[in-house]
Amino acid sequence: MTDRVLDATIIKDLLNHVYEKRKATAFQIEGITKAALAQNDSTRIYQIIGTLTDLSNSGPVAAKMGAVTALGSVSVALGLFAIAYFLEDIVRPIFATFRDSDARVRYYACESLYNIAKIARGEILLYFNEVFDILCLLVTDTESSVKNAADILDRLIKDIVSAKSTSYVSILHQPGDGAVQSHVVGPGGDAVQCNHPQNPSKAFLLPRFIPTLLERMYTIEPFAKKFLLGWLELFDDIPTSELITFLPNFLEPLIRFLMNRCPSDVRIETQNLLNTFLKEMEASYKVHYEVRRAHILRERQRQRDGPDAGAVLESALSSDHLVTALGNTRLASRDALPALVDASIKSASTTIVRKPKDDAEDVVPALADTSDAAEFVIGQDIFIDYVRTIAILLSFLRTVPPRTPSEYLYNDLSGESRESWVEIQLTVLRWLLVILRTSPTSFSKYVPDCVSIILRNIALTDELNDVNLRAQFVDFDRALRSYLIRLHECSSADSADDVNESTIQGLNREAYEEFLELHLAKTLLVVLNEYLLVVNELARLNSLEWFMFLYSHYRSSFFTRDDDGASPKFKLDLTALLRSCVDASKEVVAKVLALAAQISEDNQEFFKDFIVKLIVFFERHGTESMAAADTLGAGSHGAAGALSREKIEFIVRRLCVFLSAENIFKLLSEVLVSFEPSNADFLGNIVVTINNILLTIPELLGLRRDLRNFDLSKSDDWALFSTLFQCWSYNVPSALSLCLLTSNYELAYLIIKNLADTEVSFQLLAQLDVLVQLLESHIFLKLRLQLLEPDKFPYLYKTLYGILMIMPQSSTYSVLQNRLSSLTLYLQNLGTLATTPTPGIAHPGATTPTFLSAKRKRIHELADTFVKMHEKQQAASLRKTPRDDYGRADSIRLASTALPSAESRPLMQDYFGVHAESKR
């Protein structure tokens, strides 16, 4: 009997199935414990606790229920002070019973732990992580009685945490009896305050709790989510806990609360808590902003006036700005509280609803009384890891999973409902916009990721026709560009005396150079890849806008110099952008050309290289289209996957709008002349195309006017004409039209004479047919008026009559014949023969001036050039063109190659009507 701490009858009564009997026995054990405590018999107390522990671990269900109840009674007997020494042995067996399969055991364990916590108060915080973990399990219990008991226990623990968590130190960890030294007297008699570090042995420390919190934050149970939200709100309400500092640790699982078909009440509470954290983040930024501003002003003043001048500034920089910032923040938070209260769950929720705190009046006077701007301000020591926060937020916007888990964070929203998906993305974008405004430098390393995410999501939202979400992404895109503009401006701004927002936020030359060196090239590569990968037109346009934006602000980084010091070369190859023009809309093509034009204005070498690649692009992707168009007729837009003739005309036309049309045509001619005449069809077709553009496109009105007014005796005009003519020589009707447009009629006549020695094909006749129709348009009005002066333009008559002699008698033949015949009566009235005049008649007996001889020499040189190029082209065409059994070319099908673009067709309605009839 003496070896036993508890009598057998007491043990037997603890095993009784009747609750009242077990409760009475627990009271007996409480009395025994009190007696042992009065005798200071700690050994007996440990023995009592050990006996009850054995019963709770290995006994039947009734024994477990009686043991945990008795352990609660032991804690009551020990009281507030003594329980600290036995608490470890008391709570461990109770913690084990919370995982018992019998709901009654779990219920009485809650009851016992409630009694223990009520006695221990702050001491229970030593085991807060275990208690929190148990509560998180109990709130999802299937038994309602256990959930109700857990709810009561939860409220008690919250009360203890609210009152004790910030300062309570366990009795077991109290400091020694040595007096705490408050100050030290220095050699000069000055008293210096001694700052003692905070005791790390406090019963509760938030950093120790965060890992336990994270273990439970990834739950999908709605009740567990509400429980966790309540605790997060509680810790955020404790002024000195600074929960916002640990935000990156639990932000990801907190946003995930909105996933997995989240109930409406949990969604509302989650959004309220996220909004609260966002406002606290903005409030912290305002405090940091003013503190940083005051610090910079003091440093600038000391640099200018010396160390003694700082006192004047410090009096001027009292904490008025800080008071205003903090006061406005608290007022804003107070205005938002009614909405938070209304949105919260007011029934049997375990969430603590926030109440307005009238503490702004306590803070503002304290700040107003400060005379030193360097004095500590509430909130200035809060540090938020914005870089980690941004990485977490971006993980909810990514649409492509990483190749490796370590590549980047990724939260898959594909399985969520449309409402949840939109809500999460809108929430994340709202956070990103706030962080971009408050901590822009944190975004530098994420600019490539942000651009990729923006472009992909704009494409996705455009396909889903989600206007609101797309508008939010556009706002984020605009804010990101605004940050890059500010960063670029800071690279050249002289901030020696200017203290502005950019300076305070850390936007300086160092940040600019860091972005330039580490992140700009990656951003460009991301934009290029996104442009090539997506097929959505809006995303492509946005990609090109990013190209143009980055080039306009960071153009020096787009070029690189060789070691030999040659001219800078463009880093990126825009050939890929050109290839995308095959199946792109006109808006996308126009953007590509606008980008190329913008770069060409700054770099002539790039301009030349771009035109060469453009011609190669036309050759590879346009030949098939042209051949198909020739076969199918003028209405064809080319074969699938090939570049249509209409798009080729559009490309050249837009280039002439963005850049100098004269330079475009001159460089096109130089590049085409440098081509080998092996691809005769392509050279002829492309010349016909650009000739039609030159003659008919409204945007080239100025260039046509200059060509009409050419003075071929001037070296500049002659150089341009000769360059164009060499290229135009690949197609006879095009060369004739250029000569007629520039009033170089003698050269035109020499071309006509050369046709007598060549085979006139159906293609040539069809193109001459179109040329005659163009002669009747307003484009050649000057030529028709020059017919009234046969003595000055004798070769004009020779050329027109030569064309008339070549053409077969058709409706177009009659048009030209009627035009020439209408001049017969006029010429007779002038006393001139109604025949073709000759050069000798024009200037009888006159000596030819020197400049006319030089001009004629140039003309004959160009005529020889035309003959040589024409012969090479015909030879190449004969080698390439297959022949049928009758020896005829079986692909004489290029009648449509001479057709002008759609813009010029209203000028020649009669021709197209006749042309259609001839086809029928």
pLDDT in tens, 298-340: 888 887 776 555 454 454 444 444 444 444 444 344 344 333 3
pLDDT attached to residue 884: 41
pLDDT attached to residue 562: 53
Q: Residue 697 is encoded by which pair of tokens?
A: 């496109």
Is the pLDDT at 887 greater than 60? The verdict is no
Q: With residue 253 as reference, give the H or E element that holds it.
A: helix 247-256
User: For residue 417, which phi and psi values (nearest 5 degrees)?
Assistant: -70, 160
Using CA atoms, how far apart are residues 729 and 735, in angstroms rounded to an integer? Answer: 5
At residue 755 the predicted structure's pLDDT band, cuts being 50, 70 and 90, is: confident
Q: With residue 183 as reference, give the H or E element that holds it.
A: strand 183-185
Confirm whether 400 is domain-assigned.
no
Task: Give the residue with greater pLDDT, 316 vs 677.
Answer: 677
> What is the number of structural domains in the chain?
2
Confirm whether 475 is domain-assigned.
no
Is the pLDDT at 721 greater than 60? The verdict is yes
pLDDT attached to residue 191: 61
pTM above 0.75, yes or no: yes
Query: What's the mean per-residue pLDDT of the chain?
Result: 79
Exposure pattern of 842-878 as b/e (b: 16+ CB <10 Å)? eeeeeeeeeeeeebeebbeebbeebbebbebbeebbe
Q: Do the beta carbons of residue 105 and residue 65 sit within 8 Å?
A: yes
Helix (H, G, I), strand (E, B) or coil at 570: strand
Is the pLDDT at 668 greater than 70? The verdict is yes
pLDDT attached to residue 889: 39
pLDDT attached to residue 370: 38
Average of per-residue pLDDT across 218-241: 93
The domain boundary, picked from 171, 203, 226, lies at: 171
Average of per-residue pLDDT across 254-282: 94
Is the pLDDT at 559 greater than 50? The verdict is yes
- Which bin fits 242, alpha (ψ -120 to 50), beta or left (φ > 0)? left
The domain boundary, picked from 122, 140, 171, lies at: 171
Q: Any idea which residue has 């009659």 for tokens?
A: 814
Q: Residue 597 is encoded by which pair of tokens?
A: 């034009």
Is the pLDDT at 584 greater than 90? The verdict is no
Is the pLDDT at 881 greater than 70? The verdict is no
Confirm whether 640 is domain-assigned.
yes
Using CA atoms, how far apart are residues 502 and 499, in angstroms rounded to an integer? Answer: 8
At residue 347 the predicted structure's pLDDT band, cuts being 50, 70 and 90, is: very low
Average of per-residue pLDDT across 45-72: 91
Confirm whether 189 is domain-assigned.
no
Using CA atoms, how far apart are residues 406 and 410, in angstroms rounded to an integer? Answer: 10
Using CA atoms, how far apart are residues 656 and 646, in angstroms rounded to an integer? Answer: 15
Is the pLDDT at 838 greater than 50? The verdict is no
| Axis-axis angle for helices 128-138, 206-217 (nearest 10) | 20
DSSP annotation string for 132-169: HHHHHHHTT-S-HHHHHHHHHHHHHHHHHHHHHTTT-B
Considering only 381-385, 724-728, 867-871, which range has the smallest mean pLDDT?
A: 867-871
Please report, as a single letter, which amino acid is at residue 619.
E
User: What's the domain range around 157?
Assistant: 8-171
CATH number assigned to the domain comprising residue 57: 1.25.10.10
pLDDT attached to residue 371: 39
- Percent of the chain as helix, strand, coil, to the nearest 5: 70, 0, 25
Q: Do the beta carbons of residue 458 and residue 470 sit within 8 Å?
A: yes
How many other C-beta atoms can be found within 10 angstroms of the C-beta atom of residue 136?
23
pLDDT attached to residue 560: 66
Q: Residue 698 is encoded by which pair of tokens?
A: 């409204």
Is the pLDDT at 529 greater than 50? The verdict is yes
Confirm whether 80 is domain-assigned.
yes
DSSP annotation of 189: S
Q: What are the pLDDT digits (tens) for 376-421?
A: 566 677 889 999 999 999 999 998 888 888 888 899 998 888 999 9
Confirm whether 714 is domain-assigned.
yes
Average of per-residue pLDDT across 570-584: 75
CA 367 distance to own-chain centroid: 41
DSSP annotation string for 676-732: -TT-HHHHHHHHHHHHHHHHH-GGGHHHHHHHHT--TTSHHHHHHHHHHHHHHTTSH
Q: Residue 41 is encoded by which pair of tokens?
A: 């018999």
Confirm whether 301 is domain-assigned.
no
pLDDT attached to residue 162: 93
Considering only 487-491, 564-568, 900-904, which range has the smallest mean pLDDT?
A: 900-904
Closest CA to 665 of 743, 736, 594, 721: 721
pLDDT attached to residue 182: 55
Is the pLDDT at 1 greater than 80? The verdict is no
Using CA atoms, how far apart are residues 386 and 831, in angstroms rounded to an integer? Answer: 94
How many other C-beta atoms can be found within 10 angstroms of the C-beta atom of residue 98?
22
Confirm whether 546 is domain-assigned.
no
Is the pLDDT at 366 greater than 50? The verdict is no
The domain boundary, picked from 171, 200, 221, lies at: 171
pLDDT attached to residue 739: 94
pLDDT attached to residue 749: 93
pLDDT attached to residue 318: 46
560-569's contacts with Cβ under 8 Å and 24+ in sequence apart are 567/603, 567/605, 568/603, 568/605, 569/605, 569/606
Q: What are the pLDDT digits (tens) for 445-474?
A: 999 999 999 999 999 998 888 899 999 999
